[in-house]
Structures are given as C-alpha cells and as structure tokens.
Structure 1
Amino acid sequence: MSLDDFLTGTAANAIGSFLGAYGLFALLKGNGKLEEFLTKLQRPELRRERRRAPKDILFGIELGCPAGLVHELLGFHHRGGEKEFGANENDMSWAYRYSDALVYIRFNSTHSVKSIAIALTDGEDASFYFPDHMDLPPLGKINFADLSGEEGLVSFRSGLKACELFKTVNVLPQDLHIFYTFGALSPKFPGCLREVEFDWDAKREELRTPLKDVKINWMARSSSYEPEYFPWDLAFD
C-alpha cells in the first residue's frame, strides 16, 4: 500500500466516524433523548442504602469488637481497604453507607475495632444520641460551643481537597480509655456529606466564625488520643 492510499483510507475512516457520531447525536436530539444519553456518560452517583443507620451504631459496637461480629451486626461492607497510609500492613477498614449517615470502621492488626466514625449525610435530618453521662446534644444538633467544657483546643487541618476543624476529648470517668474526635469536615466538593461552614484565618491561625455557628458533621470513638479522621472521598464512591 502506498502512502497516498494509506492517508486516503485514514481520512475516509475519520470522516466516516465523524458523520456517524454526528448522525447519532442528531437522532438522539430529534427523539428528545440526547440529555438522557449524556447523563449515562456521567460518573454514577454514590450508592447508598435506603435504610437508615442503626441509632446506636456508635455505642452498640464496642472498641475491640472482632470483625466477624461487626459483619454479623451490620452485614457486608460497601467499601473495604487495607494498608492505609501509616498503618500496619495487616490493618484494614470498612465503610458502610446509609441514607442518613456514612460509617467508617478501622481495625487493628488482629482485626479488632480500633475506631468507629460516623458522618452525617445531606439526605435526611438525622440525629444520633450520646450516652447520658456525656451530657451533649445529639450529632446533628451539636456545635463546637457545646464542647467548650471539655479539655482540648479546636484545631484546624487542611489538604488539597478538604479542610476541617476538629477536637479530641476524653470523657471521664466512664470512658477512661475512650477518646472522641468531633469534626466539621468541609471538602471542596461535599458530595452527599452534610455541608458545614466556617471561616479560618490562615495568617493568624485562628477561627473567625463563632464556635456556636460551626456545626459538627462527624465524630469518632477510638482507644487512642491521636485525632481520628473521616475520609471525605467516602461521600463520592
């Protein structure tokens, strides 16, 4: 085959592909189905369970609970991961998605629960209650001013795609070895995560928004004083 024949064939194929695509779009537009077709090409939405999260999910699952029992209580997880950044190679995590909450559970090297976190979604007006001895409004109503009686400071952390305020506290005496992280997570694209708003002054490293106006949209229980985190990308895939 000569070079001229090759170029002629390539041009003919390109023109044919263009005319075929143009014809398809014209046909879809004429039938009123173009928008439906383009919608199918977009990234699928987060698949969440229609059922609501168990109201006692934070306190019904004890720290140290074996993974097998978690599976019996909650069923198969919607997302699982291993070898988290900075974690033991045998550590793993499970995520559950409900209509009113996203749940993230981390396990240690013996596959026992080392932390459990829950984040509110924007789909429903849900509230998750704390034990009476904590004397706090439920998750869904609580703000950072409600934590002013607890030791510790409200801190700020940020990355390329999200920023948040958080505070880690220990509630005595009942929860001597249990620590709670409360957070206001604000991704640039929140997905199904319940949105929060606050104004952080990066130069002065201080919060401009009154604490009472910053709603908490996630919290975690763990056996370590190290601040927990909630994976913002769980609101998308």
Structure 2
Amino acid sequence: MPIRLNLLAEAQALEEERRRDPVKRALLAAVALVICSLLGSLIFYSRVLIQNSELAGLQTQWQLLQKDYEQARDHEKRLAEVRQRLAALHQLATNRFLQGNLLQALQKVALPDVPLTRLKVEQFYVLTPPTPGKTNAAGRLTQPPKPATATERILITLDARDESPNPGDLVTVYKDRLSREPLFKELLGSKGEVVLRNLAPPVQDPRTGQGFVAFTLECRLEERVR
C-alpha cells in the first residue's frame, strides 16, 4: 500500500490556526461596527437635514402668523380704547350735573319767609392717570389696562334768611324740606348730606326794620367717578 505524505500539512495547519485567531475576529467585528456606525450617522444626519428644512418652513409660517397676530392685537387694542371713550362720553352725557335740576329742586322747597340770598356751586375734579396692562412672558394679557378717570366732587352752598315772625324757627324746617325733596335727594346720592354751616344771631334789616336770621347750608353731593 502506497504511503502518502502531505508536505503542506504544516502550512495548512498554520493557516487554519490564523483563521481561528481571536484578534483577527475582533478586528473584523470592530471594522463592521465602525461601518454600521457610519451608516447610522449618515442616516441620522440626513434626517436632521430634513427636519431642519421643515423647521425653517414652520418658522417662516410662524413669522407670517405672528405679524397677522400683532396686527389683530393692535386693532383689538384700538377698538377697546374707542369703546372706553364712547362709554365715558355716554356716562358723562347721562350722569353729568345739571344746574336746571338743582334750580327746580330749590323752587319746589322754597318757603315764602325763607328767601335765598346766594347760591354757589363748586365743582372739583381729581384726575387719576391710566394704568397700562400687564403681560406674561408668553405675551398674554394678565391684567387689563385701566383708563384714566376723573373723580367729580360738587359742593353747593346756600345762603338764606329766615324772615318768619319768630326768626330761626324755619331754619331746620327748610333744611329738612331740602333733604327730603326727591329731585335733591337724587342729586345728593346715597352718600351726600346737607349740613348747617352757619347760623347768625337775629338782626333787623335797616331798610325794613324786619328781624331775620341769616344761615348757610352746605350740600356735599356724592362723589362720582367719570
């Protein structure tokens, strides 16, 4: 039987051992991992580019919408200011102090023996500046603005003479009649009052010789904010 000798057996064994080398396998695995990482990075970068493009488009749309929103807010603000002015004008037209109502009320409470010698009406206005509105970081209105206001204060001073047979008896009567008169009560309001500020001693008129008592009534009307 012939004997076969494999002269390449040693070389083949070395080659087989080289193929089974763990270092080489690790290098191949590392190369494969690097290639996969590069592919993943390329895919991620392409997605980022696409999303950036979409974001730029959305930002452009947002800027256009923001301009429209700012214009709408400006128009809304102007409309609110016009409405406030119209409401203030309406309030002034309907609630303003009318001298005719005062004269009519005085005519109704007049007494034959209590003539008026002087009527004085003083009107004062205390102005309050407007308060701007407040917004949060998002631009939303958290506190509405307040318009400027004027507090109206009216003081009516009446000087009269009690020329009754017993001067001084009609002072309280006239004061009570004035306080109970519906037209005058409406002018006074819920917080107004009629106060006797001065009551002089009885004297005689040098021209007629008739005795009289001079007195002063002060009527402070309820304050009104306009």
Same fold at TM > 0.5: no
Structure number with the higher helix fraction is 2
TM-score, scaled to structure 1: 0.23
Larger radius of gyration: 2
TM-score with structure 2 setting the length: 0.23
